[in-house]
């Protein structure tokens, strides 16, 4: 079962597979610029979604976009900023279509 959808790429005659994923990142990821790091990586890849701190010390990311771009973004999430440490990244496939345009840092959640 695939959660991806087809979307035409601007200026190209072929369709791209759009996917969406939810990530929970554990480690030393709060207070080290991880959200800004994730936003910069998502913006470079042209992805939409959000990142926020959670009350349990983890960072939550929800993102959607072209499959290959999301794969590159996921690799970067595992690295994190130099000032932090990523111990684990949990990934859940979700249905595309829920994210707004652009990638945003949103309010923390408890």
Residues noted as catalytic: 35, 53
- Put residue 65 in one of left, alpha, beta given phi > 0 → left and psi -120 to 50 → alpha: left
With vertex at residue 42, the alpha carbon angle to CA 36 and CA 43, rounded to the nearest 5 degrees, is 90
Residue 75 exposed, middle or buried by CB count within 10 Å (0-12, 13-18, 19+): exposed
């Amino acid at each position: 079962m695939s959660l991806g959808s087809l979307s035409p790429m601007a200026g190209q005659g072929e369709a791209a597979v759009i996917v969406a994923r939810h990530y929970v990142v554990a480690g030393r990821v709060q207070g080290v610029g991880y959200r800004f790091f994730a936003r910069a990586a998502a913006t470079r890849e042209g992805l939409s979604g959000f990142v926020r701190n959670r009350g349990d010390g983890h960072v939550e990311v929800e993102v959607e976009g072209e499959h290959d771009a999301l794969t590159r973004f996921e690799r970067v999430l595992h690295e994190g900023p130099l000032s932090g440490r990523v111990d684990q990244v949990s990934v859940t496939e979700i249905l595309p279509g829920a994210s707004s345009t652009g990638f945003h840092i949103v309010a923390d959640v408890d």
